[in-house]
Structure 1
Amino acid sequence: MSDDRAIVIGAGLGGLAAAMRLGAKGYAVTVLDKLDRTGGRGSAITQDGHRFDLGPTIVTVPQVFEDLWADCGRDFRKDVDLRPLEPFYEIRWPDGAKFRAGSDPAQMLEEVARLSPRDVKGFQRFLKDAQARYVVGFEGMVAKPMHRLIDTIKVLPTFARLRADRSIYAHASGRVKDEKLRMALSFHPLFIGGNPMHVTSIYALVAHLETRFGVHYAMGGVQAIADAMADVVRAQGGEIRHNTVADEIILTDGAAQGVRLDDGTEVKAPVVVSNADAGYTYDHLLRNHPRRRWTDKKLSRKRWSMGLYVWYFGTKGTADKWADVGHHTILNGPRYKGLLKDIFIKGKLSDDMSLYVHRPSVTDPTVAPAGDDTFYVLSPVPHLGWKNAVDWAAEEPVYRAKVAAEVEKLIPGFQKHISTELVFTPETFRDRYLSPHGCGFSIEPRILQSAWFRPHNVSEEARGLYLVGAGTHPGAGLPGVVSSAEVLGKLVPDRPRRAGYERLAAE
């Protein structure tokens, strides 16, 4: 092709990573995004002096960012201040039991022994299992194209040997007997929208990721990473257009030709990359074109990730209070399996809940005014696609009171210190991010909704159309969405470098 233009729909982390890789390959990139700042679900909102990181808060595999920056002639560590966290997080149960996860293997064994002495050997076996699954599931598949069925077929014998047909919870149960420890070893798929009772045991690899690479926080939040990515895109000569809504992907004779905006304006390019949710891409952006595989019926049969209820709030004069509450805390409700069944199988909003509490102000003083705190509390809830979906306009105040009662057990008296607050429900995710059913993480990462079975990075619906982000291979989470752009880089042909690109490497 003589035309070196490329369009990226969406300035989330996947879209920005795609734009960086296309820019490095010589393309003139235009990024279109409906929000007023970069980052998508990884963006932030500043309100009354508090910065609320809206989505992801943990960086588990810094190498995916370092490799991305290096391929663009830059040094990630010079652009982003990444801090290792210790401990990674603390898990708490209603009976007062606690489990701290961290980088020191000896301390981790002590934590296991304190919780369940009989499970120490089983825990060590689980870590060995995690390493084996990391080699196959992460090193072997994450950053590799999986749009050919043969590529998935090749790994089936190894998957069978590793019992990928078993859920991560079933696998943890086969190694340890204590129910609390089973939860601590199996809950991680919730961070990418998966039900631990059904997501494959391959996701045990997360335990190895934490052990090998650690858990990190970007000073300035994930928004700082997104802003640094946008700086690279612009340095490459790319353009990012905010408050710009893509309404339809233009096709001619089965090939992408550009994007039509909601005001009727057309932006032309022979390469179109969608960082919009895969379901939204096929259901809305290609609504006027025939589809062979990703029809409305096919999408409706998929299992989707849960929704999220997120309460963001700032507290005044509390920086020295609640000294035992760290950066990341997970509060378990009285049920684990039953609550997951309500959320993922029944679509029922339960009275009980498990919560993730984020307190970045213990690490990053820029998130709040001096002496104050910034929090967010996240509760997994059913998405909006169920027959009797939750009416959040009516339910939100009631549910907030229930959440507050649980948070009070961790940070007593917090409500009288609240100075500002903001709430996201699945309806917010639907409207703000155009997420099907208001899901937090697109299609659920079950084994038959992964790799070849997931929407492909190169679309079979139109030539020149590619997909990145949580809804495509390899899936949700920061390593996943950034790696989806690495896959894209292996599929899109290089272009002759444009004049001025070389200045990037010199900056």
Structure 2
Amino acid sequence: MTHARPTPPETDANHAIVIGAGLGGLASAMRLGAKGWRVTVIDRLDLPGGRGSSITQGGHRFDLGPTIVTVPQGLRELWATCGRDFDRDVNLKPMEPFYEIRFPDGETFTARQDDAAMRAEVARISPRDVAGYDKFLKDSEARYWFGFEDLGRRSMHRLVDLIKVLPTFVKMRADRSVYAHAAGRVKDERLRFALSFHPLFIGGDPFNVTSMYILVSHLEKAFGVHYAMGGVQAIAAAMARVVEAQGGEVLQGVEVDEILTEGGRASGVRLASGEVLRAAVVVSNADAGHTYTRLLRNMPRKRWTDAKVKRQRWSMGLYVWYFGTQGTKDMWRDVGHHSIVVGPRYRDHIKDIFIRGKLADDMSLYVHRPSVTDPSVAPEGGDTFYALSPVPHLGFGGVDWAEEEPRYREKMARMLDERLIPGFRDHITESLVFTPETFRDRYLSPNGSGFSIEPRILQSAYFRPHNVSEELPGLYLCGAGTHPGAGLPGVVGTAEVLGTLVQDAPLRRAEPLPDLPMAAE
């Protein structure tokens, strides 16, 4: 990756610019490179990956964003499109078990890939719900084939595309929420949580997000849950290497200030330094809201006006505490790679976050402990953690994070101490905190939201920002705020859709690509 001034392209007609080196932007750059485009990726951070990048501090590597790989074949297909082998470049480790959920009453739910083990887990908690659980899995698979393999792999930018699928949406009761669908199949509230919390990992309210998203349960069952050795940062770095091997550039520490137009179409970008780069194709991996309200601020817009962007329902904010410990390698042997610690409330707490915009006294946590799988994340004898709590986004106002952050961290510490890793505070050697303000400032995320626009039914598919911009020919969008949506499979999928919309480069190269180094074990 380069941190220097960009090299002028041999011809603007063969040049594509990608704004943002998030996973969606890098995947888009790879697909454009495979089509013969000479791609320049421009990113304001110091490492590729966007929200999937990392920070190393005191020997601890903190993976900042996504930690789970659920659809590895999507990455393998992406690499194959570029004439490469994903498994040669990235080392994936299957998780077994996937994760453990710890409930306030002391009960646990351990998610695994094996059917018999999962049915036994359901039967252990609530024998009467086994049949309903089986039905839920069938529902999940049906929505996977329709929502993920069909709609999720093609553009939804035309109204006719929506009209054609409306009967299937009606048949599958897409108007129901994820929680409502789970509640219709199982009676035990703990199992209802276990089958409905997944939308939170893509920024959605389980009580309002369309039940199409129950497809995640099938993704886990069919393809497993994996961890990339070196973290998702390792996937991003491998993506950047492919782009460079294709003849492209990945520029870090460089910020785009504006998308330029000429003759009624995108013609390049102006950098924050004032330098202008010309291109025939511009792809924005910046948040869709930022793209339209900031990067296109000087052109009239018909659909994605400032007022419309402001009216969108945005995903929740995130409070994330990254911390490293020393002398704990042999402690907390019952705490695995992924843990979910559930608070005393579910529906009402979610309403505090998404509807009332209130910072509650209680919380639920997702805790990531990659050091049990990947020794490279921590110094010898140590552990690396992050604990994530959903919180209201900044658009609600009312939370002064400069004042609230220390108090909220203390509440989180007490919960971790009491319910997961007792005594951990005595071993902390490194600490780093992200609040919604960090997401706003670091990722230019509107309202400091963690996952861009919330994936409600009227903010999904046709109603979500399209992968081809209706505002400006030659401009394309990818990433969490666009179709098909957030989450690692989603953002990689946005690049697949984009790849069907962009034509091959006018001057297609034919020379062979060089080999890349093997993935680290």
TM-score by length of 1: 0.98
CA distance in 2, matches of 1:492, 1:99: 45
Contact 1:72–1:505 at 8 Å: present in 2 too? no
Taking a change above 3 Å as real, the CA distance of residues 2 and 248 of structure 1, as seen in their structure-2 partners, is closer
Match of 2:408 in 1: 399
State the shift of 1:80 in Å.
0.2
Match of 1:357 in 2: 367
Deviating more after overlay: 144-153 vs 59-68: 144-153
1:95-153 deviations in Å (ceiling 9; x for gaps):
10100000111010111011111101000000010011111101111110110111111
Match of 1:303 in 2: 313
CA distance in 1, matches of 2:193, 2:114: 20
CA distance in 2, matches of 1:326, 1:240: 35
Contact 2:144–2:215 at 8 Å: present in 1 too? yes
Q: Secondary structure at the match of 2:328?
A: coil
Counting only pairs closer than 5 Å after superposition, residues 95-494 of structure 1 correspond to structure 2 as 95-386=105-396, 388-408=397-417, 409-494=419-504
Q: Secondary structure at the match of 2:214?
A: helix
Q: Secondary structure at the match of 2:117?
A: helix
Structure 1 position 83 matched with structure 2 position 97:
no
Point out 4+ residue stretches in structure 1 off by more than 4 angstroms: 496-501, 504-507
* Residue type of the alignment partner of 1:76: F
Q: Secondary structure at the match of 1:196?
A: coil
Contact 2:318–2:450 at 8 Å: present in 1 too? yes
State the shift of 1:390 in Å.
1.2
1:245-275 deviations in Å (ceiling 9; x for gaps):
1000001232001000111111110200000
CA distance in 2, matches of 1:201, 1:367: 36
CA distance in 2, matches of 1:295, 1:499: 39
Structure 1 position 44 matched with structure 2 position 60:
no
1:379-429 deviations in Å (ceiling 9; x for gaps):
00000001x331111110000000001111210000010000100000000
Q: Secondary structure at the match of 1:95?
A: coil
State the shift of 1:2 in Å.
7.6
Taking a change above 3 Å as real, the CA distance of residues 497 and 80 of structure 1, as seen in their structure-2 partners, is farther
Q: Secondary structure at the match of 1:90?
A: strand
1:259-300 deviations in Å (ceiling 9; x for gaps):
001111111102000000000000100011100100011111
Contact 1:73–1:504 at 8 Å: present in 2 too? no
CA distance in 2, matches of 1:266, 1:314: 42
Deviating more after overlay: 490-499 vs 23-32: 490-499
Match of 1:9 in 2: 19
* Residue type of the alignment partner of 2:407: V
Contact 2:267–2:280 at 8 Å: present in 1 too? yes
Contact 1:310–1:423 at 8 Å: present in 2 too? yes
1:431-464 deviations in Å (ceiling 9; x for gaps):
0000000000000000110001000000011010
CA distance in 1, matches of 2:300, 2:45: 29
CA distance in 2, matches of 1:64, 1:483: 8
CA distance in 1, matches of 2:63, 2:170: 39
Contact 2:14–2:507 at 8 Å: present in 1 too? no
State the shift of 1:501 in Å.
4.2
Match of 2:39 in 1: 29
Q: Secondary structure at the match of 1:3?
A: helix
Match of 2:80 in 1: 70
CA distance in 1, matches of 2:98, 2:488: 16
CA distance in 1, matches of 2:285, 2:21: 7
State the shift of 1:505 in Å.
7.4
1:221-266 deviations in Å (ceiling 9; x for gaps):
0000000000000000001111111000001232001000111111
* Residue type of the alignment partner of 1:413: G
Match of 1:94 in 2: 104
* Residue type of the alignment partner of 1:473: H
Contact 2:12–2:279 at 8 Å: present in 1 too? no
Contact 2:42–2:256 at 8 Å: present in 1 too? yes
State the shift of 1:499 in Å.
4.4
Contact 2:17–2:283 at 8 Å: present in 1 too? yes
Q: Secondary structure at the match of 1:264?
A: coil
CA distance in 2, matches of 1:247, 1:46: 28
CA distance in 1, matches of 2:486, 2:402: 28
CA distance in 2, matches of 1:156, 1:322: 50
* Residue type of the alignment partner of 2:31: R
1:154-203 deviations in Å (ceiling 9; x for gaps):
11101111111000100000000011100100000000000000001111
* Residue type of the alignment partner of 1:430: R
Contact 1:85–1:217 at 8 Å: present in 2 too? yes
Contact 1:34–1:245 at 8 Å: present in 2 too? yes
* Residue type of the alignment partner of 1:359: R
Unpaired segments of 5 or more residues in structure 2? 1-10
Q: Secondary structure at the match of 2:152?
A: coil
CA distance in 2, matches of 1:506, 1:224: 14
* Residue type of the alignment partner of 2:400: D
Q: How many residues align?
A: 506
CA distance in 1, matches of 2:301, 2:513: 42
Taking a change above 3 Å as real, the CA distance of residues 226 and 2 of structure 1, as seen in their structure-2 partners, is closer
State the shift of 1:500 in Å.
6.5
